[in-house]
Structure 1
Amino acid sequence: MEIVVNLDVVMAMRKVSSKELAKAIGITEANLSLLKRGKVKGVRFETLAQICHYLDCQPGDLLAFKPDGE
């Protein structure tokens, strides 16, 4: 099973750049890039809440569960 990160899709739909989002939520572009690619072991709820607030979305818009074999 896998958690799929759709942050890049939501950012594209909102026409928000990585630089803009990183600055708005107070993280580095490098860390945002790792998050977008799903290369992190976890994300703080505070960071997730800031992303959702800025992009006007829900956590479920950013994260999806993919069972094995799909």
Structure 2
Amino acid sequence: MPIIVNVDVMMARRKMSLTELSERVGITLANLSVLKTGKAKAIRFSTLEAICKVLECQPGDILEFVAE
């Protein structure tokens, strides 16, 4: 898949666990895990916005396009 999700990289930089991010963003651990592993087919802008607020980053820090 040409879109790479770097949530785990940003979490590591902020020294934040998956559980903490899940609680602060307001989404389930299961849904956050699907996003983190790159298995998600879509993400709502409201979810992306919440993740960016909590991790203090830009959407481009989380999502990356890599040509196949």
Q: TM-score range by the shorter chain?
A: over 0.9
Partner residue, 2:13: 13
Give 1:26 deviation, angstroms. Answer: 0.9
Partner residue, 1:54: 54
Aligned to 2:64, the other structure's residue is in SS state: strand
Give 1:49 deviation, angstroms. Answer: 0.2
- Segments of 4+ in structure 1 off by > 3 A? none
| C-alpha distance in 1 between matches for 2:23 and 2:14 | 16
Alignment length (residue pairs): 68
> In angstroms, what is the RMSD of aligned CA positions?
0.8
Partner residue, 2:34: 34
Give 1:47 deviation, angstroms. Answer: 0.3
Give 1:22 deviation, angstroms. Answer: 0.4
Q: Point out where structure 2 has 5 or more consecutive residues left out of the alignment.
A: none
Calculate percent identity across the aligned residue pairs. 57
Instruction: Look at both structures and tell me which one has the larger radius of gyration over its CA atoms.
Output: 1
CA deviations over 1:8-62 (Å, ceiling 9, x no partner): 0000010010000101111111110000011011000000000000000000000
TM-score, normalised via structure 2 length = 0.96
Aligned to 2:3, the other structure's residue is in SS state: strand
| C-alpha distance in 2 between matches for 1:40 and 1:64 | 14
